[in-house]
Amino acid sequence: MLSIDSLHVTYGGAVQAVRGVSMEVPDGKVVAVLGSNGAGKSTLLRTISGTLRLHRGKVDAGSVRLGDLDLVGRDPGQIVRAGVVQVPEGRRIFGRLTVEENLRAGGMGNKDKAAKAKAQERVFEMFPVLKERSSQRGGLLSGGEQQMLAIGRALMASPKLLLLDEPSLGLAPRIIGQIGEVIAEINRQGTSVLLVEQNATMALGVADLAYVLDVGEVSLSGDARELAQTDEVQRLYLGHDGEQAPLRTSAVSGKKLSRWTA
């Protein structure tokens, strides 16, 4: 289980981006983090993944633990080897490398050839278009296909916990729906997921638990389906007031994945 306790993070010693955040990602669950721009969502993921220092950020107080392992102060490579892998906002694939080379890069930390072969088989089963285009440069893929590749590259490390930073950003509504199905499938296969997302409909539809960040603090938390019915979440994140029909959060849960081919 990932456990965050009373986390405080600043940038440049002056800008306080996260203030006293506490949350948990239980094993085998999908946890969504909602919030507007500047709420501290990306800072939270950077802290977990060990990339915070690359952005001149610093943990001033609090802890981030994966089971008994303290993640604060560890470098990103150590955290990946511990089982935590991030898919960054904007996909950040290697555009000049082929699809297959991108996937190989994702599995570089794994010395077990059989495990890497199994991970690649899992990726190609989930995203058959990547197998079809394995020799094509990543930069020539569509936006949706690049998101597939970014997720697939992360899965090559066989993570225990997958961190997703705005996976629906800039994608068509049809593709966003498929992302939700993919997240549910990844979770059903045994990987816990921490999903940072502005698309609250998709996020709450796939998540078990949810947290709402507001100016660096947790303002709401609880069961995702219960939060989706609250007036505040309906008004601020779902685009209507509490008098309208509630969000159908069952749209993704339990649905069999239709293989993402777009």
Burial (CB < 10 A; 0-12, 13-18, 19+), residue 44, is: buried
Same domain, yes or no, for 165 and 78? yes
Give the pLDDT confidence score for residue 240 in this predicted structure: 52
Same domain, yes or no, for 127 and 22? no
Same domain, yes or no, for 142 and 172? no
Looking up residue 68, the CATH number of its domain turns out to be 3.40.50.300
Determine, yes or no, domain membership for 242.
no
Give the pLDDT confidence score for residue 239 in this predicted structure: 61
Which CA distances in Å does 64 have to 1, 5, 8? 11, 7, 11
Q: What percent of the chain has pLDDT over 70?
A: 90
Best CA proximity match to 196, nearest among 102, 110, 87, 103? 87
Q: What is the mean pLDDT of residues 161-190?
A: 91
d(CA 236, CA 246): 14
Domains of the chain: total? 2
pLDDT tens readout for residues 99-152: 999 999 998 877 788 888 999 999 999 999 999 999 999 999 988 899 999 999
Q: Answer with the one of 115, 136, 158 that is the final residue of a domain.
A: 158
Token pair, residue 64, equals: 């981030």
Same domain, yes or no, for 198 and 174? yes
Give the pLDDT confidence score for residue 250 in this predicted structure: 39
d(CA 62, CA 21): 8
Token pair, residue 180, equals: 């939700």
Structural domain harbouring 78 = 1-83+159-220
Confidence check: pLDDT of 176 > 50: yes
Same domain, yes or no, for 17 and 93? no
